[in-house]
Amino acid sequence: MTIIRLPKSWEIPESQVTSETAYFNRRRLLKTLVGATLGASIMPILGCEQSSEANSALAASLDTASLKPVETNPAFAQVDRLMTDQSLAGRYNNFYEFGGNKSIWPKAQKLPTEDWKVEVTGLVNNPRTYDIDDLKKEFPIEERIYRFRCVEAWSMVLPWIGFPMKSLIAAVEPTAQAKFVRFTSFYDSEITPGPGLHIGSLPWPYTEGLRIEEMANELAFFALGIYGHILPKQHGAPIRAVLPWKYGFKGAKSIVKIEFLATQPATYWNTIDSHEYDFEGNVNPNKPHPRWSQATEKFISKGPGLSWEKRPTLPYNGYGEYVASLYVG
């Protein structure tokens, strides 16, 4: 069991992305505006101290209850690079329900996670609504250390705790008609204001999807925790999807519904711009994003400060031995 404790010192310079508002231009299309906001995050970040008050609030947000110690799956105990520092991962997030920049962690604390229910429905023999304790009791909980790659060309290494998606498939038994799955994230316009674009409307709630064969793959994982603790809200408490061979946007946070479907569902980013965010979303160094190369990535490793280590992007984020067979032909 790898438990990474909070560092004693919170004297870590804050990372600050260029304000999204600099990119707003009402003459452009909504999708371009949203896309430009994403692009802003790959610009170099500026060093800037976070107040000690903010440091203790961040520490408190990450100091969620510890999970019962679990085994680290030996197949996913090691990667080829350092683990990302807990405090960096916890304050450099994408969670559009709470804002369009990386610093959503204070706003995400409004997410109401008590008495959470996950409805599993659609084309299954055993539909069921689970609470989080049911999931912990009924599924094989383990730790996995995975590389994590955002479509914006930054990456991390994160220690997740949760259970393989294939164990949920076994429990609910999708019917022969089920070919796809859709994940729906929590949404309540009173609580999740979105990125503050006052034009048009975004396709809330956030949804994502997979083919059933992808969901059944060994790697596909539901995370309930990270760094030995239950998920902090900014990471998508209390349950989120983790798909390490795909870009981060495929991994829906704060899931309230899992539906088995006969046809490919519409998804959040794909609806906003299908050319920039394809349904498959596999990490691929040879397929540039329309607005930037995916050949390399900036690996966010450890403090103090944000260190950007430029690395070549790996096909399937380095997980080809598990998943390449899903994509032949």
Ligand X SMILES: Nc1nc2c(c(=O)[nH]1)N[C@H]1C(S)=C(S)[C@@H](COP(=O)(O)O)O[C@H]1N2
Distances (CA, A) of 76 to 80, 168, 219, 322: 11, 20, 9, 12
The residue assigned the tokens 């899903």 is 326
Q: How many CB atoms lie within 10 A of CB 164?
A: 21
Report the site for ligand X in 251-290 (rule: CB under 6 A): 251-254
Contact pick of 93, 155, 270, 313 for ligand X (by CB under 6 A): 93
Contact pick of 91, 147, 235, 302 for ligand X (by CB under 6 A): 235
Q: Should residue 61 be labelled a site residue for ligand X when binding is judged by CB under 6 A?
A: no
Residue nearer to ligand X on the CB measure, 108 or 120: 108
In angstroms, rounded to a whole number, what is the distance separating the alpha carbons of residues 200 and 202?
7
Contact pick of 205, 232, 238, 248 for Mo ion (by CB under 5 A): 248
Q: Should residue 244 be labelled a site residue for Mo ion when binding is judged by CB under 5 A?
A: no
Q: Should residue 105 be labelled a site residue for ligand X when binding is judged by CB under 6 A?
A: no
In angstroms, rounded to a whole number, what is the distance separating the alpha carbons of residues 291 and 310?
18
Binding mask 116-155 for ligand X (x = CB under 6 A): ----------------------------------x-----
Strands 229-230 and 207-211 turn out to be unpaired
Contacted by 97, from Mo ion, ligand X, none: CB < 5 to 8 Å by type: ligand X
Which region among 51-59, 88-96, 124-132, 238-246 touches Mo ion (by CB under 5 A)? 88-96
Name the region of 59 (left: φ>0; alpha: ψ -120 to 50; beta: rest): alpha
**CA quadruple 199, 206, 103, 59: dihedral sign:** positive
Residues at the contact surface with ligand X, assessed by CB under 6 A: 93-97, 150, 185, 206, 235-236, 248-249, 251-254
Interface residue list for Mo ion (CB under 5 A): 94, 150, 248-249
